[in-house]
Structure 1
Amino acid sequence: MAVISMTDDLEDFESLLEPDFDAKQFGNDLLKITNNNDATILDLNTPLKKLNYDLHEVDSRIDQLINNKPLEMIELVYRNEHVNSTIVDELKPSLEYLNMSYDRLKTQVLDPYERARKVQLALSKVYQTSFLLRGALVYIHLSNKLNTASKIAQLNISTAVNVASLHYQLQITLEENENLKSLRKIKELEQKIVTPNKRELITFLSLQMSKECLNSIKIKSNKEIISQLAYSLFLLSPQEFASSINKIILSNVTVSSQILSKTINSIRMFPEAFKDVVEKGYNIYTLETILRNIKTDNVTAAAKSSVANKAHLSHLLSEYTSTRNIKAGPSTPRDLFWNKVSSNFKKDFEISVNRGGPVGKALLKNEDFIIDTIKQNMEKSSDSSDYQKYLDMMLGSVSIISK
């Protein structure tokens, strides 16, 4: 029934048969109608009477309908029974066929698929376990070889290069199966053998690199050894590789700056001293050439993890330059060397000129001599014609005497 007003005769029951009829809402509306909003006591008797009245009215109308139209009612009942019987009889074969089809589908497709899915899941777990165990066996084997090599032979360059290769293979193994790191045995080997040995090896390789690049004779005659040391160090740690190259360059910068600084008070020593500096610059050029010739195409991401999402690099020189912040200064070894040397010399040179006295006057008086010495020797700083920018740097370091 819709919302009932006081004047409603309660004879319209169509709303009770609507699909969206809500008994709670109907009862709530009936209570609101039969109660005053200002009343403090809820009247339930009146709505109950109205409902009872409706029930009696419905019963009365049903009796009246049966009494007035008995044949129509009987016919309607039989018609409904006939319709239901017809629907059941006609649908039964189809339903049985559907049941048979579903049973066949379940037997031939669904059940085998479910079994196959379970087998696939089991095989996947077996494969994962097998892959993990294989990786663990490889790691254990390599760490044992690493431990044996570190105990039997005294560490030398040849042994160090071989051991670095073992460390690189360990990195690849971990990279291919990161779940290995969760195994207790792998953690123990990492802590007790691999990590300590790697630290010792990095220190050794870095020290040997510095020794082999100590002077012109060594760096020219031991290019192959330097290549092996540089590549091995890079495989172990790109950061330590770059740091070692920086140390070699800055060591040469320090010596060169000291050599040039001493000539300021005795400018006639400048040509010989500048030749020594140019020779050291050539050593840095040789080091650059060595690094450029060491290809890194086959190095995996494990050895390049320090630089995220970087483009593919083809040789160690580009690997080195990629680790340097361009904003912080020069990027190549020669850039760094000549920039530092010219900057240090310029500072000392300008202080002496500005201070005046015999030293400052001698520097000003020998302007052509100093500039000609720089121009004549810088060509020997490399085997190519790209030395011009470094020549400009060195000329800029003494530019105060040209003003």
Structure 2
Amino acid sequence: MADEEPSYIDYETFLDPSFSATSFANSLVLSTNNASDTPLDLSTPLSRVLFDVQEIDTHIDSLITKSALPLLDYTKSRADASGHILSEVEAQVASLTEGYKVLEKEVCERYDAAEQVRVAAERLCETVRLGRAVGRCLMLGRQLEAQMVELMPTGNKKGDHRAMTRAANTLITVRQLFLASNLGEEGFGLDRVNVVNTLKNDLIAPSEQNLLVRSQQVVREFSMSSLLSSSTLSQGSATFAQGEDTKSRTTSALLTLYLLSPTSANTTAATFEPSLLVSALQDYLQTALKSSLASLTRSLATLPTLDRTLLEISARCQNILALESLLLAIKPPAHPFFEGQTTNSTDIPLNFLQPLLQALDTSSLPSFFWRSLASNLSPRVQEIMNRGGVSARTLRSNKERVRDALRGCVDRGSRVLGAREKETGRGWEREAAVMVGAVMGVLGR
């Protein structure tokens, strides 16, 4: 630029990146006019701008004329270089294309084939697992069917009650199989197999319902008392055998109810609650209470039937005592649902009696029976007295006899546990006093 002709144009201003045509025009107008003049003279700034543009255009033409050959040479050399680079790049692209074709043939095609094999193998593996689960489910169904047949009496032989427990274990195994399937583990999709759904609806569900009904019926019919039967020496061995059979049958029913109590994926040995077992036992106690209360209320209104009614109530209490002794002797079995779980011995009840006592909030079943009966008896006696008549007068005049009869009823009802009472020193005076107080409190002492 040293040999360039001098110019009065300030090129630096026009080449500045922050150049603003509006600001430049405004400053040019203000420099050639007085801002207070009206109108403004725009011919002078316009002439100057046109002159500057013509000067710049002339300068550009002279520069192009002087530098035409160097520019053409530079452009030619750049074009030649670009052509050379393009030819080299095309050769490399062709080489890469050939390499990609080889790679696609040797890798991609093989990968696609291998992916198809992998998908097929994965589906085959899932099919094998599902088939194994279906086979196991069908095997368990056949096993359950055979166990349910064992429960049915044939001819003069009773059904094998121990088959109830075996069938309950089979049902738990089936339940685990379906639970694992629903969680996406072994046998995923088991519920979508038609034969499994048929097995579930036609065999598993009815069998479980049948087991529950049978077990609950056995618990409802539990009876060990001999107060209401004639006790002769010839019947002693038969009574003992019947008692042992009743205990064994009831034990199987209780174990079945324990095993079939509802569980979920989050249930552990510590949180497991044998709800079916506790519910069946509570129903047994409530039935005994309701029957005793109804019959005792009728007998207090008609005293000639009182002795027979109190004998029946004593028999019910003996059955409750026998049931308590039986529950105390039954330890919770190993639950298949909790196999492999680390459990603390304090988390599992020591026997079947413990969860029932916790549910009833009591320390003894006979005590619960007598106290519950007494608490519901007072209002019934009050109704008899309020009605008045012969029943009320007879009951009031025979209150001493009623007192003795109630004490004798509680005493008879506790004799079935005589051996244990001697060891523990347990008496039933408080329960007798509660029963007597429920009646005498209304009659007046």
TM-score, with structure 1 as normaliser:
0.56
**Residue 247 (structure 2) aligns with:** 223
Q: Identity of aligned pairs, percent? A: 14
| Pairing 1:333-352 to 2, within 5 Å after superposition | 334=366, 337-352=369-384
**Residue 173 (structure 1) aligns with:** 177
Separation in 2, partners of 1:203, 1:251: 17
CA drift of 1:235 comes to 2.7
Q: Is the 8 A contact 1:149 1:163 kept in 2?
A: yes
Distance 1:234 1:372, change over 3 A: closer
Q: Is the 8 A contact 2:172 2:336 kept in 1?
A: no
CA drift of 1:226 comes to 1.2
* Offset from partner CA, 1:89-138 (integer Å, 9 cap, x none): xxxxxxxxxxxxxxxxxxxxxxxxx9999999877655544333222111
Match of 2:313 among 268, 277, 301: 277
Q: Return the letter of the residue paired with 1:290.
A: L
Q: Is the 8 A contact 1:213 1:248 kept in 2?
A: no
| Pairing 1:101-140 to 2, within 5 Å after superposition | 127-140=125-138
Q: Is the 8 A contact 1:296 1:316 kept in 2?
A: no
Alignment pair present for 1:232 and 2:256: yes
Q: Return the letter of the residue paired with 1:361.
A: R
Alignment pair present for 1:400 and 2:432: no
- Number of corresponding residues: 334
Separation in 1, partners of 2:437, 2:114: 78
**Residue 48 (structure 1) aligns with:** none
Coordinate RMSD, CA, aligned? 5.9
Q: Is the 8 A contact 2:411 2:428 kept in 1?
A: no
| Pairing 1:218-297 to 2, within 5 Å after superposition | 222-237=246-261, 241-265=277-301, 274=310, 276-292=312-328, 293-297=330-334
Alignment pair present for 1:362 and 2:360: no
Distance 1:186 1:316, change over 3 A: farther
Distance 1:170 1:391, change over 3 A: farther
* Offset from partner CA, 1:205-263 (integer Å, 9 cap, x none): 33333334364565676323211121123334566544433443233224423453354
Q: Return the letter of the residue paired with 2:297.
A: S
**What SS does structure 1 have at the residue aligned with 2:160?**
helix
Alignment pair present for 1:206 and 2:248: no
CA drift of 1:300 comes to 1.9
TM-score, with structure 2 as normaliser:
0.52
Alignment pair present for 1:142 and 2:136: no
Q: Is the 8 A contact 1:363 1:401 kept in 2?
A: no
Separation in 2, partners of 1:60, 1:363: 142
Distance 1:379 1:127, change over 3 A: same
CA drift of 1:143 comes to 1.0
Separation in 2, partners of 1:227, 1:392: 33
Look at both structures and tell me which one has the larger radius of gyration over its CA atoms. 2
**Residue 193 (structure 1) aligns with:** 203
Gaps of at least 5 residues in structure 1 are 1-10, 18-52, 78-113, 303-310
Match of 2:167 among 159, 163, 166: 163
